[in-house]
Amino acid sequence: MLIFKNLILIFLLLLIAGCGSSGGGNSNNPGPPPAQGTRVLGMDIKSVPTVSYAMAYDQAMALGVREVSVSLDWASLEPMEGNYINTLLSTIDSFYSIQTGDLTLVLRPLDTIGPSLPSDLAGKAFNDPLVITAFGNFLTNLHGQLTTLNVTGKLKWIHVGNEIDVSLGSDATKWSQWQAFFVAAKSKIKSLWGANVVVSSIIQFSALENIGVRTQYLNFLPQLDSAALTYYPLNADFTMRPPATVAADFDLMTSTIITKPILLQESGYPSSMVNNSSEALQADFISAVFKAWDKHMDRINLIDFTWQYDVNEATVDQWVLEFGLSGNAEFKYYLWTLGLSNYDGSEKLAVQRLRDELQARSWGL
């Protein structure tokens, strides 16, 4: 009888130990998600008729956002070599230098739709000495226009090129030309802003799924301070894959890119039924991203959600034309409904879901 009682006692102790809380919990009761830690939440700030940009910025900061980005096309700020247009840069310097969050500059000599060079350099290869010298001079002018911002140290990330994989593809020659350009630009940026600024080039997540493009990117990766990606779970026809696919996508990112920290410079999910989506699915995407981020928080430093508010139809129509996709309803509605809130200023379900996910992780506390 004594032996039997001892066996029961041992069994109960083992059962209690197995059911006890150890932080991670078990599959049936996973416990609370991990706290924020060093993770940075970003957002693409948008103004709408009822909300000014400054108000929208403050709304984002109140949520827990601490990074915003500004994209600058080289040709727009320097239409001809040496002919700089600095009005926007003055606004950037005066506004962002006094704000709560940090800033990312996405410089776009190469963007999704192709190169953006001063007109007298158009058509030249990126490794052409004239192009490299001109961009170095552009960076010098840029630095000189951001004097107040530079002192604050709020400019923490500078990306040279956005979704460069679209133009470079799997062409080894184009990647080699871009690498020569990037290495020179990175050296110039470090000499101007210091060693601590993070310098990268942005690719699409889909580049990792194409073996030819992936091979070229991984050869380029050692030149980068971080791996910066845009992430939208898209099908080829601009409809959306289910939010449940996010977990596997994050696994792919972190297993493919093993030598650099990862930044998701854009991450979004439209809400339109034209894209096989809805407000509910967009909100589920937010939750799926945070759950996957919890798993890979030691590898993924920053996620910037695209975007805060929907943009107006006229702007979307112009973008569709620039991309050469006029008449493609799925592409239009993909761009048109990426906002976490509507163009009229009202919130979609995704905003409250974002609040809930942040609160669950004691974000900002």
Per-residue pLDDT of 120-142, as tens digits, reads: 999 999 999 999 999 999 999 99
Q: Which domains does the chain possess? A: 38-360 (3.20.20.80)
Has residue 224 got a pLDDT over 50? yes
Of 21-25, 109-113, 143-147, 232-236, the one with minimum mean pLDDT is 21-25
For 162, the token pair is 């956005």
SS (H, E, C) the chain: CHHHHHHHHHHHHHHHHHHCCCCCCCCCCCCCCCCCCCCEEEECCCCECCECHHHHHHHHHHHCCCEEEEEEEHHHHCCECCECCCHHHHHHHHHHCCCCCEEEEEEECEECCEECCCHHHCCCCCCCHHHHHHHHHHHHHHHHHCHHHHHHCCEEEEEECCCCHHHHCCCHHHHHHHHHHHHHHHHHHHHHHCCCCEEECEEEHHHHHCHHHHHHHHHHHHHCCCEEEEECCECCCCCECCHHHHHHHHHHHHHHCCCCCEEEEEECCCCCHHHCCCHHHHHHHHHHHHHHHHHCCCCEEEEEECCCECCCHHHHHHHHHHCCCCCCHHHHHHHHCCCCECCCCCECHHHHHHHHHHHHCCCCC
Residue-averaged pLDDT of the chain: 93
Taking the C-alpha atoms of residue 348 and residue 151, their distance in angstroms, rounded to an integer, is 38
| Residues 280-332 pLDDT 10s | 999 999 999 999 999 999 999 999 999 999 999 999 999 999 999 999 999 99
Lowest mean pLDDT among 24-33, 100-109, 331-340: 24-33
Closest CA to 221 of 189, 197, 256, 194: 256
pLDDT of residue 28: 56
Task: Please give the Cα distance from 127 to 129 (Å, whole number).
Answer: 6
pLDDT, tens only, 79-123:
999 999 999 999 999 999 999 999 999 999 999 999 999 999 999
